[in-house]
Structure 1
Amino acid sequence: MNQGDKEGEVVEQVQKKTAAGSRTRSIAFVALTVAITAVSAWVTVPLGPVPFTLQIFAVAFMVLVLQPKEAVAAITAYLVLGAVGVPVFSGMRGGIGVLAGATGGFLWGYLLGVGLAVAVRFGLKAVLARDGQAKGARAFAIDFLTGLVFLAVAYVCGWAQLMAVASMTPAAAFAAGVAPFILVDLAKLVAAVICARAVNAAVGRRA
């Protein structure tokens, strides 16, 4: 084996180890955000048919610290765990009945909202990349807009299922399941953006 072949083999081994380390780190981040989302759901304050939890913060944080595929994988894993009975939903509940219940639409909305939010975020960053990397207020605005997209989808899905399952009028479902949470959820989004930006800076990730 000549010197060139040896160097090529070394480079290949380094690349394999780097790829394996990257996959391990990605799995760890996904698992950690799933755990954070589950714990946030256990912090529950009853407020009419829809309880107050910290899930909006946790899922928005998930979207902002993970790569697009990682975020979709994380929210999917969270919902699958809950569907099979692991008590990861609000009030330490689990089972398909929660997803089919009056508040289940918000959970489905998390999945759809994450998918749309990461697509919007990726698109905005691609457009702004022509002018250089987004920094400061512009970067914060992109992250907050990403959170708003996620929140809007979650609200629409939750509102629709609440009307259907609880036989409520659109106005009644909005008053019970959406209106009381808007201001608090916006505050959660701001907190999620701040925390996510701090974490990304600390670990050197670019979500």
Structure 2
Amino acid sequence: MSTETREVDLVGDEVVGNVARAALVAALTGAFAYVTFPNPVSPTSVTLQVLGVFLAGLLLGPVWGGVSMVLYLAAGAVGAPVFLGGSAGFGSLVGTTAGYLWSYPLAAFAVGFVAYGGLDTGADLDAGLPRLVGALTLGTVVIYALGVAGLMVVGGLGLEAAVVGGALTFIPAEALKAAVAVGVVRSGDIAAA
């Protein structure tokens, strides 16, 4: 009786690696939700979650960056304490911050698409500073457009109150997060030089 075995790859190594990286960035984004700073002009605290969104797009590209943020939302929806301050559950995805949360996959995709110049995730990120700034600016616009819409629909705020309290007061913090994200992705360029 002879037993012959064959090795079959059900999922390629590249896909496994991309899923692992996407899960890691999703977990990092969840950890960033615990880092909060008071916002002196808003009742809502500043968190580092958006830094995770930026890094997802810049490090993983548009497709896997978006997948990473979908994993993040799924983890929070099923009870992992990965939303603002360790909150969790489906209620966060329909509450006043829902617009921001739902924007994360779209924003990560947009950041990656602009930074990489398309859908090609196999290429190394070779974007200059203007392209990186443009990518992060677009990501910020996506996040705040949906976040403000969510505040208006779910929170019952008027347009002016939603824009001022839900977007404008956070712009300095977003600029700092964008600078950190650029520093992270450019640090590899510096180390290689």
| TM-score of the superposed pair, with normalisation by structure 1 | 0.76
**What does 1:40-59 correspond to in 2, within 5 Å?**
40-47=32-39, 48-59=42-53
More helix by share: 1
Report what 2:128 is aligned to: 139
The aligned amino acid for 1:155 is Y
Given that 1:65 and 1:199 are in contact with CA atoms closer than 8 Å, whether structure 2 keeps it comes out as no
Are residues 187 and 45 of structure 1, via their aligned partners in 2, closer, same or farther at CA, if it must alter by over 3 Å? Answer: closer
The aligned amino acid for 1:96 is F
The aligned amino acid for 1:140 is L
Residues 121-163 of structure 1 show CA distances to partners (whole Å, capped at 9, x for unaligned) of: 343799xxxxxx996xx61221121111111000000001101
Structure 2 CA distance for aligned equivalents of residues 199 and 25 of structure 1: 20
Structure 1 CA distance for aligned equivalents of residues 114 and 61 of structure 2: 13
Offset of 1:202 from its aligned partner? Answer: 6.4
Report what 2:147 is aligned to: 158
| TM-score of the superposed pair, with normalisation by structure 2 | 0.81
Are residues 122 and 97 of structure 1, via their aligned partners in 2, closer, same or farther at CA, if it must alter by over 3 Å? Answer: same
Aligned residue pairs: how many? 180
- The percent of aligned pairs where both chains have the same amino acid is 31
Structure 1 CA distance for aligned equivalents of residues 78 and 189 of structure 2: 32
Report what 1:97 is aligned to: 91
The structure 2 residue matched to 1:27, chosen from 19, 37, 56, is 19
Specify the structure having the higher radius of gyration (Cα): 1
Which protein, 1 or 2, shows the higher relative CO under an 8 Å CA cutoff with sep ≥ 6? 1
